[in-house]
Amino acid sequence: MRLQNSQPPPACIEALQRRRWTCVPDFLHEDSAHALESCLLHDVPWGLAYRLNSQPVTDLQAADTNSLAPDIRRQLLEQQGEPFQFVYNTYMMVTAYLERRHPELLLNRVLEWLNSPMMLAYFRRLTGVSGIAKLNAQATRYLPGHFLKNHNDYNSDEGRRFAYVLGLTRHWRPDWGGLLHFTDEHGQVRDTVVPAFNTLTIFCVPQDHFVSYVAPFAEHPRLAITGWLLDK
């Protein structure tokens, strides 16, 4: 994997400090972006992440996903009282790496690259936080019916300082949904990021946000590598 530019753009550093989120366009070198996109489109054995009836996150393996996903989506939509729900395809990169599930998969090299000294230095410069110690990561795929309700990502045990989304989605239309929305203290949308290709979105934690419901007529999957910058 290679960066397009070895240093984060000064305008992105300033925006992150001022409004608590920013987007870095053309984050990866073109060849790296294409290779990672191809991996997400063709090689990843997707599972399903969801939360139902206040139960812990469930990560179904790919073999179970197709048979259960429609029923899970129906139950999630009918469940009115639960404040935090989500359903989307996932590949938990850290767990898979440690368990050596698919050693040939490009995502293993991506995880190593994100935690390399060069990349940790890059993220420390971008955020201005010298204590960034490591990154975790998961690959995500949002299809029609997938969503992520409003939450703030806070987790004191993990030491989350920033969240990131490395978007690998081409030709996305805003009316397809799948938009990253930041909300204010009144629950109103204050900023929106449309899925894009080879763009890194990074934001401070805690910060309220959600991914809007992907419409049935969306023509492409919403693809990304997501995770957190951790200080421990």
Contacts with 110 (C-beta within 8 Å, 6 or more apart), sequence order:
1, 36, 93, 137, 225
Alpha carbons 55 and 89: distance in angstroms, whole number? 18
Predicted local confidence at residue 76, as pLDDT: 60
Alpha carbons 34 and 219: distance in angstroms, whole number? 19
pLDDT (tens place) for every residue of the chain, 232 residues total: 999 999 999 999 999 999 999 999 999 999 999 999 999 999 999 998 887 666 656 565 554 444 455 666 566 656 655 667 888 999 999 999 999 999 999 999 999 999 999 999 999 999 999 999 999 999 999 999 999 999 999 988 899 999 999 999 999 999 999 999 999 999 999 999 999 999 999 999 999 999 999 999 999 999 999 999 999 8
Overall fold of domain 10-230: Jelly Rolls (2.60.120)
Predicted local confidence at residue 50, as pLDDT: 85
Query: Considering the entire predicted model, what is its pTM?
Result: 0.91
Alpha carbons 213 and 146: distance in angstroms, whole number? 6
DSSP of 140-181:
EEE-TT-EEEEE----TTTTEEEEEEEEE--S--GGG---EE
Q: Give 105-110's long-range contacts (Cβ < 8 A, gap of 24+).
A: 105/39, 105/43, 105/44, 106/35, 106/36, 106/39, 106/43, 107/39, 107/44, 107/137, 107/139, 107/225, 109/1, 110/1, 110/36, 110/137, 110/225
Listed by start position, the domains of the chain span: 10-230
CA dihedral 131, 196, 173, 35 (to 10 degrees): -130
